[in-house]
Structure 1
Amino acid sequence: MSIFRFPLLVWMGIAILIISLGIRQSFGIFMMPVTDTFHTGREFFSFAIALQNLLFGVFQPFVGMAADRWGARRVITFGALAYAAGLYLTSLAGEPGWLYITLGALVGLGLSATSYVIVLGAVARVVPARYTAKAFGLTTAAGSFGMFVVIPGAQSLLSDYGWQAALQIFALICCLMIAFAAFMKNTNSESDTKGAAVESRQTLREALQEAFNHKGYWLIHAGFFVCGFHVMFIATHLPSYLADKGLPGATAAMALAYVGIFNIFGSYFWGVMGDKFDKRYVMTSLYLIRALIIAAFAVLPITEQSAAIFGGAIGFCWLGTVPLTSGLVRQIFGARYMSTLYGLVFFTHQVGSFLGAWIGGRVYDYYGSYQPIWWASVILAVCAALIHLPINDRPVSRSAATSS
């Protein structure tokens, strides 16, 4: 199926992810101006972002269940309002502790209801199963395009108006997601109607029991934990790491922008590979490449050129895990309760994100260096590569739902 034949819902989901994830990925460049304003160490801001990501994950199963029951449109509308409120109230905060509630809890709730779990769950119902990884790859790439567009814009807003005004502008932009959500009306793909009829007889409790008894489901959780650790450690701390090496803020913004632009191609590439080849082996290859890229960055001299190369290289496999992981969940368990089941997997991803963002700041404040976390990331990538090999990826038989 050509990407131009995907239903309108897919394109509306792409627009929502461009806004939601583009803003989210820009938070790293706010670390230094925010900590300078409140005269705190980096652990303070790191913990606020870590809390945001943890709650982002905690809310995912619940918003996934809500989307499976009431539809993506209502959930996204609610999430957009929470996201906008969190950003606006953060800009008004007079004490640093308020950021745990605004930037942490409210933005975390908003992200959970406007990101991959909800959008991919809706996409899974309108795209034939044999094209889901490709569709998921295209949709995932949208978040990276947002990163490429939003981060340089955020840097300009910071330079010209300050971080408070930048967040207020972002709050207004969040409201656009409500307009796009109006088009998020789910209908089952004709080619999947028979399978959807079988799945519709399954209750949520039965779907959860089926997944919890499947060993591969827990291995998918473990692999996605590593992805979360990598993504949020790099997104949160790469700007400060480069600043420590004497590079200007524009270099960090450009490195993160390269992450975004290369992930546009990478997410789609890995999604297409997931449709053509065994998703488990594609995932293993992705994590091994990540390990090599991070190891090289940790040992080579840090310059503007090496920062740009790292951004592009890590960007190519940045969120390629999303179409592959969600594709595995869809392939094994079907589309009916995908938002719920993938929401639980994404919670584990966000536990990794919490630790990546928080521990990065804590290790830096204690050791004065990020080197231990870079090498921990390499080891975790190798472990994630091996974890996916034993997964049984055959679709579950409803007559033998507990098979693993």
Structure 2
Amino acid sequence: MPTPLPARFRDGPNIPLIIICGCLISMLTFGPRSALGLFLGPITSDQGWSRETFALALAIQNLLWGAAQPIAGMVADRYGTARTLAFGGVLYAAGLVLTVQAETPLVLHLSAGVMIGTGVAFSSFSLVLAAFGRTVTPAQRSLAFGVGTASGSFGQFLFAPLGQGLLDGFGWQNALLIMSGLMLLVPFLAIALRGKPDAGPATPGAHDQSLIEALREAFGTRGFVLLTFGFFVCGFHVAFITVHLPPYIVDLGLDPVWGASAIALIGFCNVFGALASGYIGGRFSKPIFLALIYLGRAVAIGLFLLVPPTPLSVLMFAGAMGFLWLSTVPPTSGLVAVMFGPRYMATLFGFVFFSHQIGAFLGVWLGGRLYDQTGSYDAIWYIGIALSIFAALVHWPIREEPVARLAGVPAE
């Protein structure tokens, strides 16, 4: 006799609508922040600020995104995804508007840093993935996570040339205002994702955990802790490259258009990388796959530093990193779901993501700091290679299995 489906599957949620609106939210919220590196030159030139000043604002943004992500997850788990996403979209839009008005570094750090960072946390793809995780069947989760992640990457692909076009055509102030207006679409799209996890046990026969019990269980699980350490490295790479690759390419003597092209190509290639990651993660070992992704990043960065700087070498590096970019997200979020179930996935993945954003803070800030001190990005590139090897080592021993509490319990 087949196992009965949980109530939410019997009731027939509009899964295509949820997936489409969730992907659009991921695209919209990931796009503008990924294009902010293009604004480093124009803003610092107009305001007379150093690269470190602008980099610190984006570093704060990444840190606040991470620090607020567990809180956003708790809010979504308790009050519903739609309300959380709507609040985040409005705050994100307000942060972009205030960035235009910033005349001092303090206001820049509050707007581009605190407000946008918090707004992204409450409207990011992490909440969208958690909504997908509780909506689709367990067999569909890895692929759904890949689709949600790929849509964020498409936002990066779309907003890199869009941001450059807006900069060239309207100036950086109007470009930020236009992107702010786009963020106001998020509350409307979020309506389709209304709802929250079941209040009862995550799976039939499982204990109905409290949030405190879930956190205690997660941080007492070695695999979760190792996953958290590893995701730190992903954040370091992604944030440093997003913000500092465009000015680095200019420093190499190449036209600025290649910086925007590189960021766009990273986003484009990661659409396919994230989809492939979702497929692979659903069929093969997620920990080993993650280790191989990080080793691939070490090779890509090393070769980029060794070959002569040309438009071709920039595009080859961008393409390689694109396939490895957010391909870490589907297996990472998938491991959280496998180990602990979907009940508190938004919260638990939020804590893993906080580590990612600590890495992002350091990648962005150290990039600007070391550049201002040495006039070069070489040191930060080599740190990135070393961290890639570290991440590969910590993912290898993670066990892809449910915790003891869920062992033997039939999957949803």
Aligned pair 1:259/2:269, yes or no? no
Q: Matched residues in 2 for 1:195 and 1:85: separation?
A: 37
Shift in Å, 1:399: 7.4
SS at match of 2:299: helix
CA contact (8 A) 1:7 1:126 kept: no
User: CA 1:182/1:284 → structure 2, altered by over 3 Å: closer, same or farther?
Assistant: same
CA contact (8 A) 2:26 2:152 kept: yes
Deviations 1:57-107, CA, capped at 9 Å, x for gaps:
110111100000111100000000100000011111222321110000000
Shift in Å, 1:188: 7.2
SS at match of 2:192: coil
Partner of 2:208: 201
SS at match of 2:379: helix
User: CA 1:160/1:399 → structure 2, altered by over 3 Å: closer, same or farther?
Assistant: closer
SS at match of 2:151: helix
CA contact (8 A) 2:231 2:353 kept: yes
Q: Matched residues in 1 for 2:95 and 2:49: separation?
A: 21
User: CA 1:123/1:150 → structure 2, altered by over 3 Å: closer, same or farther?
Assistant: same
Deviations 1:110-132, CA, capped at 9 Å, x for gaps:
10011122111111001111221
Q: After alignment, is 272-281 or 89-98 more displaced?
A: 89-98
CA contact (8 A) 1:329 1:341 kept: yes
2:234 alignment partner AA: C
CA contact (8 A) 2:37 2:246 kept: yes
Aligned pair 1:361/2:368, yes or no? yes
Among candidates 335, 357, 361, match of residue 350 of structure 1: 357
Aligned pair 1:153/2:162, yes or no? yes
Partner of 1:47: 56
Partner of 1:332: 339
Deviations 1:177-200, CA, capped at 9 Å, x for gaps:
1110011134779xxx98534557
Q: 5+ unaligned residues in a row in structure 1: which ranges?
A: none
Partner of 1:133: 142
Deviations 1:130-163, CA, capped at 9 Å, x for gaps:
2211110111000111111111011011111111
User: CA 1:365/1:19 → structure 2, altered by over 3 Å: closer, same or farther?
Assistant: same
CA contact (8 A) 1:126 1:187 kept: no
Q: Matched residues in 1 for 2:207 and 2:201: separation?
A: 10
Q: Matched residues in 2 for 1:96 and 1:79: separation?
A: 23
Q: Matched residues in 2 for 1:114 and 1:222: separation?
A: 24
Shift in Å, 1:8: 2.0
SS at match of 2:193: coil
Q: Matched residues in 1 for 2:406 and 2:15: separation?
A: 33
Partner of 2:118: 109
User: CA 1:398/1:156 → structure 2, altered by over 3 Å: closer, same or farther?
Assistant: same
CA contact (8 A) 2:77 2:196 kept: no
Q: Matched residues in 1 for 2:211 and 2:321: separation?
A: 37
SS at match of 1:97: helix
Q: After alignment, is 374-383 or 198-207 more displaced?
A: 198-207
2:306 alignment partner AA: V
Q: After alignment, is 200-209 or 378-387 more displaced?
A: 200-209
Identity %: 44
* TM-score, length of structure 1 as denominator length: 0.95
Deviations 1:6-55, CA, capped at 9 Å, x for gaps:
54212211000100001110011000001001111100000000000000
CA contact (8 A) 1:219 1:388 kept: yes
* TM-score, length of structure 2 as denominator length: 0.93
Among candidates 393, 396, 399, match of residue 392 of structure 1: 399
Aligned pair 1:60/2:69, yes or no? yes
Partner of 1:269: 276
